[in-house]
Structure 1
Amino acid sequence: MSFTRGSCAHLSVLVGTTLAVALTVLPGGVATAASPPSATSAEPDIMLELQADGLVSKATVPLADAAPAAARSSSQGTLSPRLSTSTFSQVALTWRGKDPGASVRVRRNGHWSTWKDLEPLGDGPERGSAEGRRAVDRRASDLVWVGSADGVQVRSSNARADDVDLVLIDPGETSSDRARTTSTTESNKAERTAAARVAAAEDEPVTARLATSTRHAPRPNLNARRTWNPDPRKLNGTPVYMKRLKQVHIHHTASGNGYSRSDVPRMIRGMYNYHTDSLGWFDIGYNFLVDRFARIWVGRSGGAHRLVRGAHTLGFNHKSVGIAMIGNFESADPRREARTAIVKLAAWKFGKNGKRLATGRVRITSKGSDRFPAGTTVKLPRIDGHRDTNQTACPGQKLYDKLPTIRRRTQKRMDKYAVPQ
């Protein structure tokens, strides 16, 4: 791995000695620090800087000056020193060239965590789009939520990875993060009104409703952008609107599952900073996010009721909506209440845009992904998982296995509310 120059981190005077610590190659080829930094240093090795919003703090620290040439040339990878930091809660890497195959561990309450892989990010704007041209020319990992931590160590399986930067974010905390927010288990006026229409027409066959209806499933409860306090100065451009909706792409954020209700606005605020400030995207990539408490959060700006083009599914953003469930569902089961939130959101977006089907497949032409080259026309499920379009594990095996049921439940909800005027 290699450090770049220039960052928004403040490195203490200890870095001259701490980050210059030579790495030695252990048996098996993994490099480790000859003398790790003291955890009792008066000032941390990495100090996050408060951003202009007075809320989010961030550090972007290059990694290769800590590794001498011998360690960098090792085919077995490297291990950074244990670095003390000011408080952070989210961590990621960005790089150029080959995937570093990195994992991190952090220090919380004086104890070091187990290692956690940093998976390459499969989200993003298409390279030929205006947003893609503005984005930084770097690859990136998912942004992982680690809770309150004050130390970090990075391990790479690819010592030849180039120009690797460590990104640490503390999203800050406001009183509004603990404010009451609504979930989809609570009905709203739109749902009650629509339910009354269904009750009035419950004796009419569904097929007759579909033939004459301009009605659709109601909007579920949404938590507006202001509830997670994005800094508007981080926006890079303006929303782009789509004319048609063909798909809903389901994601997970791969950011961990052990979060509280009040953590969620902070997590989204950190994602927003990472997507805009570190990666140069217009806005947060996802159109909507769903937490484990069944709350739906508006992500990308431009109007929740409109067809805003996101940066969630590389090559397939142009006729779709991206919904991310917050957490990692490779081995953990997503809660049924959270899956219901996806069902309600997908049914509303499809119905509002004149779609009658949530099941089956549609033909769509790729704008260029690592699975389907630009110009390739494929048939994909109307509600699919990120892995259907890109080489990624997203949305995690456990959530992916639930997609057939999510499709059927979404269709059932759309049919239920297709009541004639």
Structure 2
Amino acid sequence: MVLACVPGLAAVAVLVLCAVGVDRTPGGGERPVSGRAAGGYEAPKPAIVPRERWLGDAASTQPPTRYADRVSAVFVHHTDSPNGYDCADAPRIIQSLYTGQAGGRHWDDIGYNFVVDRCGTVYEGRAGGTDRAVVGAHTQGFNVGTTGVAALGTFTAGVPVPKVMTDAIAAVAAWKLGLTGIDPRAPVRLVSTNSLSRYRAGTRGTFTAVSGHADGYWTACPGAALMAGLPEIRQHAARLQGRR
């Protein structure tokens, strides 16, 4: 059975390929230790529009946030919403997605960690800090230790995927995975904790570090056209990390 793009809420234990620590900043906060010492492959952080831009005053009330130790994989999604929008309307559309998930489904927040519009603008999704390993609600069974990046639109077979959109997805993936020295093209081992995923709870699956929602869950998301673009997204992300 193939379902629509419905993110899940379950957690997962992740077998991590590269270690990452935590440094204390002078102000008492935390920042992740980069993977540069282990491999030297980092990518610059892309420009990210803060959630206040689409959520408004409600962004000041942040729900409780769960954090993982690190991000070991990126799952790509589409939002299954119309494609013909003006990019100036993207904040309003993301707010409507939030309303559907946090309101209609009674989740605590939007499920995706990041949303990318067709003009290549990256928006912060779930609260908790873009630099941190925020546990999202995007891939049933595989939320802890992964990041969910959603393309704003519907990208089924034959639908063109804008290059600026895939480039932006690659930039997010390169940056997040680079923090722990992970090659976007590399295999990663993830252990499911929810039998509603493609893997029974407790079983281990091998994914590519940048994978589609459908790789972990019974869904058509992120659409056949975007799934077909994942190899190039991985290659572009690897180049952004300075890999051959």
User: What's the TM-score once normalised by structure 2's chain length?
Assistant: 0.82
Residue 414 of structure 1 aligns with an amino acid whose one-letter code is Q
The answer on whether the counterparts of 1:359 and 1:408 sit within 8 Å (CA) in structure 2 is yes
Residue 211 of structure 1 deviates from its aligned partner by 7.3
> What pairs up with 1:69-218 in 2 under 5 angstroms?
120-126=4-10, 214=40, 216-218=42-44
- Is the Cα–Cα contact under 8 Å of residues 234 and 277 in structure 1 kept in the other structure? no
Whether the aligned pair in 2 keeps the contact of 1:234 and 1:276 (CA below 8 Å) is no
- The match for 1:323 among 137, 149, 161 is 149
Q: What percent of counterpart residues are identical?
A: 35
Determine the structure 1 residue equivalent to 2:124.
298
> Whole-Å Cα distance in 1 between the matches of residues 7 and 192 of structure 2?
14
Q: Quick check: 1:225 aligned with 2:225?
A: no
User: 2:206: which partner in 1?
Assistant: 379
Contact 1:123–1:312 (8 Å) recurs in 2: yes
Instruction: Give the secondary structure class of the aligned counterpart of 1:410.
Output: helix
Q: Relative contact order, CA 8 A, sep 6+: which one is greater?
A: 2
Q: CA deviation at 1:376?
A: 1.3
Query: Which residues of 2 match residues 286-365 of structure 1 at below 5 A?
Result: 286-331=112-157, 332-352=159-179, 354-365=180-191
8 A contact 2:5–2:221 mirrored in 1: no
Matched to 1:219, the amino acid is K
Deviation at 1:121, TM superposition (A): 4.2
Please state if 1:273 is matched with 2:99: yes
SS in 2 for 1:262: helix
Secondary structure, aligned partner of 2:241: helix
**Contact 2:170 / 2:233 at 8 angstroms: preserved in 1?**
yes
Aligned residue-pair number: 218
1:405 alignment partner AA = E
- Matched AA of 2:223: G
User: Relative to 1, partners in 2 of residues 1:364 and 1:127: Cα closer, same or farther, differing over 3 Å?
Assistant: closer
Please say if residues 290 and 325 of structure 1, whose CA atoms lie closer than 8 Å, have aligned partners that are also in contact: yes
1:153-195, Cα deviation, whole Å (9 max, x unpaired): xxxxxxxxxxxxxxxxxxxxxxxxxxxxxxxxxxxxxxxxxxx
**Any stretches of 5+ residues in structure 2 without a counterpart?**
13-35
> Structure 1: which amino acid aligns with 2:109?
D
Is 2:40–2:181's contact at 8 Å kept on the other side of the alignment? no
Cα distance in structure 1, aligned partners of 2:127 and 2:47:
17
Greater share of strand residues, 1 or 2? Answer: 1
Question: Offset at 1:237?
Answer: 3.8
Aligned pair 1:401/2:228, yes or no?
yes
1:127 is displaced (CA, Å) by: 7.9
1:127 and 1:241 map into 2 onto residues whose CA distance is 11
Distance 1:351 1:127 in 2: 23
Q: Equivalent residue for 2:239?
A: 412
Q: For the residues of structure 2 that align with 1:342 and 1:265, how far apart are their CA atoms?
A: 17
The alpha-carbon deviation at position 235 of structure 1 amounts to 6.5
Is the 1:366–1:375 Cα contact (8 Å) retained in structure 2? yes
Match of 1:292, SS?
coil
Structure (1 or 2) with the larger CA radius of gyration = 1
**Which deviates further from its counterpart, 379-388 or 228-237?**
228-237
Residue of structure 2 equivalent to 1:140: none
The residue that corresponds to 2:22 in the other structure is none
Shift in alpha-carbon separation, 1:233–1:217, aligned structure 2, 3 A: closer
Q: Could you say if the C-alpha distance between residues 236 and 226 of structure 1 is closer, same or farther in structure 2, counting changes exceeding 3 Å?
A: closer
Change (3 A) 1:260 1:316: same
The structural deviation recorded for 1:217 is: 1.1
The residue matched to 1:380 in structure 2 has which SS? strand
Work out whether residues 135 and 144 of structure 2, in 8 Å CA contact, stay in contact via their aligned partners in 1.
yes
Q: Contact (CA 8 Å) 1:312, 1:322: kept in 2 or not? A: yes
Q: How many Å separate the matches in 2 of 1:306 and 1:211? A: 19
